[in-house]
Amino acid sequence: MTNSQSFARMQYFLREIGQGPKGKRDLTREEAREALSLIIGQEVARAQMGGFLLIQRFKGESPAELYGFTEAVRDGANLIHPKVEGLLDVGSPYDGRKRSIVVSPASSIVAAACGVPVVMHGEKGLGPKHGVPVGDVLEALGLDVDAQPDAVQRSIEEHGFGYMHSARFVPSVYALADLREEIALRSCLSTIEKIYNLAGADYSIIGLTHLPYMNKMMTAATNMGFKRILIVQGIEGNEDVPTSRPCRAFLWERREPGTENPEPADDGMAGATEFRIDAAEYGLQPATKEEMSAGDSEENAVIALRVLDGQPGGHRDLVLLNAGIRIWLAERTPTIQDGVAKAREAIDSGTAKAKLEVLRTP
């Protein structure tokens, strides 16, 4: 496609989605895939790129559009295929969090120590939030967060844990960082980076801020090859479940393993179960307001180290709950309660701290 053809094609997409409440329409999955491919390939004018992302935000992406956008990213991504059973993908928002502790890195390391292979992914310095992302905490803990795809795959296979740096795995999307900064709002890219499953994982845990978005995100995620997905309304809309309040959660399980729908269903919640996760049911103490707050990545890493060293308190119970959820989600235990017990044993025995030391080894 020539530059003039790409320009005209994007004009067409902009007209279709931007005609106002009565004239607009959702793109088909194939059209969405093509449109985002033009943007990722930077084949169209910068104004068209920003305009498309903003109009989609205000229109509201359909499940089919999210699915198509995800396929566009996967088309140009460096995919990996770790030879492990039951890989868990942790879908953290790439722009991090600003007001609260980042529990996910420590919880994921504990889960890995309990036999759950885990892959995390993210990027540095992304807006609009510009918070503390999981990768910065892992880096502060001494892990390599800029490894090449083959090294990440090897780490998952050998040590049960890997971190995918967006710049290494989806460089064309990373190249849009300045554009994302310019539009100053979250776009579809912020949604699909949680679910695009670049490592072929079987399980996924995802955080969600706005419940009305649940159907769309769940529908798109169910077409990414996962067999079990948990979406939680966690801390700051992240995948970390709090101990200070009950947390809404939605579990989807594939009814026929190995099959995928050719198009997303209209109702992404079909087959999903809603429930609440209440830390009090597992004998865990609620974190105080002071324990819930945290500073930069270094402070979050210090907290994680204290927990892995066995220090009791609210931080430990936050990690126990979230590690237990991961262990249960990946079907290593029949209940979250059993997952919490398994996580407690891994910390108390030193197995979790030993896992961190292995991951720190070059």
> pLDDT, tens digit, for every residue of 97-115?
888 999 999 999 999 999 9
pLDDT computed for residue 1 by the predictor: 67
Task: Give me the pLDDT at residue 262, please.
Answer: 47
On the question of pLDDT at 285 being above 80, the answer is yes
pTM above the 0.85 mark? yes
Q: How confident is the model at residue 268 (pLDDT cuts 50, 70, 90)?
A: low
Which residues, other chains included, contact 52 with Cβ-Cβ below 8 Å and sequence gap of 6+?
10, 13, 14, 17, 35, 39
Please state, for a pLDDT cut of 70, what percent of the chain lies above it. Answer: 95
What value does the mean pLDDT of the chain take? Answer: 93
The token pair at 71 is: 């396929």
Q: Residue 289, Cβ neighbours under 10 Å: how many?
A: 9
Q: Is it true that domain 3-60 has CATH number 1.10.287?
A: no
Q: Where are the domains of the chain?
A: 3-60, 81-362
- DSSP 8-state symbol, 82: -
Say which residues have a Cβ less than 8 Å from residue 40's Cβ, sequence separation at least 6: 72, 73, 76, 172, 173, 176
The pLDDT tens digits of the residues spanning 14-23 come to 999 999 888 8
**pLDDT tens for each residue of 202-245:** 999 999 877 778 889 999 999 999 999 999 999 988 999 999 99
pLDDT in tens, 37-63: 999 999 999 999 999 999 999 999 999
pLDDT tens, 318-345? 999 999 999 999 999 999 999 999 999 9
Rounded mean pLDDT of 248-273? Answer: 70
Q: Tell whether the model's pLDDT for residue 140 goes beyond 60.
A: yes
Residues 6+ apart with CB under 8 A from 5: none
For residues 95 and 238, give the distance between their C-alpha atoms in angstroms, rounded to a whole number: 11
Q: Which residues pair with 206 in a beta bridge?
A: 91, 231
Domain 81-362 maps to which CATH number in 3.40.1030.10, 2.40.30.170, 3.40.50.300, 3.40.640.10? Answer: 3.40.1030.10
**Per-residue buried b or exposed e for 171-195, using 16+ beta carbons within 10 Å of the residue's own CB:** ebbbebbebbeebeebbbbbbbbbb
Q: Which single residue is written with the structure tokens 């970390």?
A: 240
